Amino acid sequence: MIGATSAIAGEVARLCAGRGDRLYLIARDSLALSALEAELRAIANSDDCVAGSAAGDFNDCERNAARVAEGLAALGGVDLALIAHGALGDQLESEREFSEARSILSTNLDSVVSFLIPIGNALEAQGQGSVAVLSSCAAERGRPKNYTYGAAKAAVNTYLEGLQTRLWRSGARVHVLKLGPVDTPMTADHAKNWLFGQPAPVARGVLRAIEAGRFSTYLPWYWLPIMAIVRILPEPIVQRFSFLSGR
């Protein structure tokens, strides 16, 4: 599990520990990772629940293949790999300074691909297993509020489409979870409304979608019809709605 200490991934990990799965955890925050490991072992009532863990800077992309290899060795293979990290960054700053745009793109695209390459190769060699990635509805249409982040997620979605087709005949599967806004630390500064999901039910939806074998799933479910409309709206209409065209 990559990005294990994020709010949604943490909830997925708790569900997995509760049903007896063995986990290998990769995160950016070593202190939060240690706390999560202890919690999962208590939930499972077993030290063997967590086969191992690693913490570090995911934007050190050259290191990520080794992190995956260490996890595969500890587990003896993989049934499900979940990639759950990301960062919104500062949209306005990304429009003024390439360094911020590059940081957002590196975290949300480059680092994800650097994990997907070794994971995809391992799944293909196994001929089974799945990789799931938490993406975003922000990828569906560029909006002034978050289009640098959305562009990275859109690129990841396209990459996953290709990876799914490549791995299909091997028996391995790919899942992309297109999340609407969720009430997590990443959105702490955002004004909340009824459209915001909560981490625990979203995590349950993640596992249900994977178990059902679906490639693409919107979570919470109501983002499917919402985004079907948003994608086809003509630009003059988009400009009339501040929630689409505003900051």
pLDDT value at residue 96: 98
Residue 61 within any structural domain of the chain = yes
Domain that holds residue 69: 7-245
**Measured between alpha carbons, how far is 161 from 116 in angstroms, rounded to an integer?**
12
Residue 192 within any structural domain of the chain = yes
* CATH code, 132: 3.40.50.720
Residue 1 within any structural domain of the chain = no
Residues 64 and 111 sit within 8 Å (Cβ to Cβ): yes
Residue 212 within any structural domain of the chain = yes
pLDDT value at residue 78: 94
Residue 55 within any structural domain of the chain = yes
pLDDT value at residue 92: 97
Residue 206 within any structural domain of the chain = yes
Enter the tokens of residue 115. 């994990």
**Average pLDDT per block of 10 residues along the chain, 247 residues long:** 97 97 97 97 95 97 97 96 97 98 98 98 97 97 96 98 98 98 88 91 98 97 96 94 86
pLDDT value at residue 100: 98
Residues 4 and 14 sit within 8 Å (Cβ to Cβ): no
Residue 168 within any structural domain of the chain = yes
Residue 2 within any structural domain of the chain = no
Number of domains in the chain: 1
